[in-house]
Structure 1
Amino acid sequence: MNETRASSLSGIPIAVLFVLLFLGCAALFVWGASHNMIPAIVVAVIVFAVVAFLCRGFFQVQPNQGVVMLLFGRYAGTARETGLRCTNPFYSKRAVSLRVRNFESSRLKVNDADGNPIEIAAVIVWQVVDTAEAVFQVDDYENYVHIQSESALRQMAQNYPYDSHEDGKPSLRSHGDEITRHLCEQIQERLGKAGVEVLEARISHLAYAQEIAQAMLQRQQAGAIIAARTRIVEGAVSMVQMALAQLSEQHIVELDEERRAAMVSNLLVVLCGERGTQPVLNTGTLYQ
């Protein structure tokens, strides 16, 4: 069921007309009572009752709001024109907000793709775009948005690892844009049938569960140390190669294989050592 436009009229001119009819009915009733004119009194009462019943057709539409109308259980359309409106008095009406809304999910405890328990929460920004689907396709569209959003967040978290240990592999912590796009698509797929559009969905909380948080912190620290030492070694080897190449090209000194190995060893110790090196002065020859 898709939204259709309901027929309604501007309420202010009709309200003015009804006020004039009420005044005319009052004047007719007074005139009939003073002249003992029963037909005039009856007409005044009937017209007053009809106009009073027609007043049930008045309703207000606020900005960014839609009013869903039903006629004896049948959908009759949605009015989005703002201001005072007037329609069929037999219509039953229900206002639906079209404003942008957001909510933060509860912190869910799930297992990521590697089986590690994590805590995750997200902020979802959404709005109703089809009032008919929001009202008639689901029982309570606001509760439906909350439950389905958390379900999509839980499923998405199970498809990615918390932290990637392979270059290029997406993870919850390192690939925010891809995760956000995937989460939006997952939530929109579930909420589309309820006439809801997801404007944005972002992770607001992400952490390892408390029972493994300390172990995972040590693992991250070890990984960071290994990565740092790898970079240091790569840089040191590059610098040693450059030093040997320049010494050879510029004929500064001729080194045999044994002295080249000693020089490489000394340079690597200096470049890769965690502490400052202590220089040792050789007062003899190169070979002593």
Structure 2
Amino acid sequence: MKEEKSTTALSGYVATVILLVIAVTIYVSAVYNSPLFTIIGIILSLIILKGLTVINPNDAKVLILFGEYVGTVRQDGFFWVNPFAVKRKVSLKARNLNGHKMKVNDKLGNPIEIAAVTVWMVKDTAKALFAVDDYIQYVQVQSEAAVRHLANLFAYDNFEDEEATITLKDGAQQVSQMLEKELNERLERAGIEVIEARITHLAYAPEIASAMLQRQQATAVVAARKQIVEGAVGMVEMALERLSEKEIVQLDEERKAAMVSNLLVVLCGEKSVSPVVNAGTLYN
């Protein structure tokens, strides 16, 4: 497999000065009617012109001479290279790949929608051009494959898999790190370095989203009820203890049970309770 190697290039300004000298020579030979020098000067001028190239910042030129990889010029500026070499431009800038939403199955088989964004750049220009057919398309395909594979490894949440330590919903940082690592392994062949990879969209598929929402709502209601009951029991216990300490009223077990029942109804009820005033005695 070809690996990148640096190559030197002559200054384009020196080549331009030589080109000007040749142009003066051509003019002088034309004045003194010397066709041989004129033809030679024109040929040399064309050769020098074809070798001139400009490399912008964060760009590189890969040189290929008669099917053989010569090297890569990474330094930006104005240069002159072998005029017979093919110059292929490769951008070294960081790029974003905003993946589209994909419908996949998580570890438990639930259909989900997932999408990820990948920040990548070319690290090895030789591998990018010669190891794969189209390195941009290669990044897109491998990124999609990596996201699909990652979604199959973890459950969406831990409702059905309570023993799961990492889920797609709650383990965003760990999942992103694993995605970045897998992408670097997949794209190393093409000389691509992944700077960052993160999940940007995660949701249940539309066909099960409603059922999953109801399940989440039911879980939230149960958790809220549990907390309400725990608080109500504590308040009833405190009320009975304070009444006993202050000796405000003496209650037998039956009246205590009735009082506890009434307090729990008041404290745990969803709606406000209308009090009933007993005009008789406590036992009537």
Distance 1:238 1:86, change over 3 A: farther
1:37 aligned residue: none
Give the SS at the match of 1:259.
helix
**Alpha-carbon contact 2:25-2:41 (below 8 Å) kept:** no
**Residue type at the aligned position of 1:239:** M
Give the SS at the match of 2:271.
coil
**Residue type at the aligned position of 2:24:** L
Q: CA separation in 2, counterparts of 1:252 and 1:177?
A: 58
Matching of residue 74 in structure 1 with residue 71 in structure 2:
no
2:50 aligned residue: 56
Q: CA separation in 2, counterparts of 1:266 and 1:178?
A: 50
Normalization by structure 2: what TM-score? 0.88
Give the SS at the match of 2:207.
helix
**Alpha-carbon contact 1:111-1:117 (below 8 Å) kept:** yes
Q: How many residues align?
A: 281
Matching of residue 230 in structure 1 with residue 231 in structure 2:
no
Q: CA separation in 1, counterparts of 2:241 and 2:154?
A: 46
**Alpha-carbon contact 1:96-1:131 (below 8 Å) kept:** yes
1:220 aligned residue: 216
Q: CA separation in 2, counterparts of 1:238 and 1:74?
A: 83
For residues 215-243 of structure 1, the C-alpha deviation after alignment (integer angstroms, 9 at most, x for no partner) is 22222222222222222222223333343
Give the SS at the match of 2:270.
coil
Which residue among 202, 205, 212 is the counterpart of 1:206?
202
Matching of residue 183 in structure 1 with residue 179 in structure 2:
yes
Gaps of 5+ in 2: none
**Residue type at the aligned position of 1:205:** H
1:17 aligned residue: 18
**Residue type at the aligned position of 1:204:** T
Which residue among 143, 147, 169 is the counterpart of 1:149?
143
Which residue among 111, 124, 127 is the counterpart of 1:130?
124
Normalization by structure 1: what TM-score? 0.87
1:36 aligned residue: none
Q: CA separation in 2, counterparts of 1:258 and 1:170?
A: 51
**Alpha-carbon contact 2:115-2:199 (below 8 Å) kept:** yes
Aligned-residue CA RMSD (Å): 2.3
Q: CA separation in 2, counterparts of 1:160 and 1:4?
A: 41
Distance 1:43 1:221, change over 3 A: same
2:152 aligned residue: 158
Give the SS at the match of 1:263.
helix
**Alpha-carbon contact 1:56-1:89 (below 8 Å) kept:** yes
Q: For residue 168 of structure 1, report the CA deviation from its aligned partner.
A: 6.9
Matched residues, percent identical? 50
